[in-house]
Amino acid sequence: MKLGSFLIPAVLVTLIVITLVVVSCNKNNSGKPAISLESINTTVQANDSMRVTFKFTGGSQISNGLFWSIRNRTNVNPLTNQSGTDTINFNLPTFSGNSGQIYFSLPWNGYLNETSTENDTFLFKFFVQNADTTLTSDTVNSPQIVVLYQ
């Protein structure tokens, strides 16, 4: 066999590996904040709350930034008298750590519960932004959340 028949595939494989390493390193070193879902109660009992714990990295980017929650009702027959807005945000406090946890809670009474006599289902999307909204984390999607009427 000719040396060239081994050399060309070896060069191509090396270039692909180098490209993957560069892309992976660039993604990890972008300075972009990140959140991940640590825990969530997927069934919310009457008069309780939906409680979510997130782990974050890139804390220096999100100190004094924003935490976003977007609610999407998945019921077949949507209600017309929905409580509150579907998109809400909260200011994050000023802190000095680069990683940590965010605890988030939504009450059954006044936000998750409707003036209905049926259980309700939701999907949520969550993300964080830095204070001037130039950096945004990837979106974290919740599993289906069931809110019980009684």
Tens digit of pLDDT for each residue in 91-112? 999 988 899 999 999 999 878 8
The verdict on 82 and 113 lying in the same domain is: yes
Closest Cα to residue 125, out of 79, 77, 89? 89
The verdict on 52 and 64 lying in the same domain is: yes
Q: What is the rounded CA–CA span in Å between residue 114 and residue 104?
A: 20
- At 85 the pLDDT is 81
Q: What is the rounded CA–CA span in Å between residue 89 and residue 55?
A: 18
Q: Based on the structure, what is the number of domains in the chain? A: 2
- At 21 the pLDDT is 38
Residue 108 belongs to domain with CATH number: 2.60.40
Tens digit of pLDDT for each residue in 98-148? 999 999 999 998 788 765 678 889 999 999 999 999 999 999 999 999 999
The verdict on 2 and 37 lying in the same domain is: no
Count Cβ atoms within 10 A of the Cβ of residue 91 and give its class: 0-12 exposed, 13-18 middle, 19 or more buried: exposed
The verdict on 57 and 25 lying in the same domain is: no
Q: Is the pTM of this model over 0.85?
A: no
Predicted confidence band of residue 29 (pLDDT cuts 50, 70, 90): very low
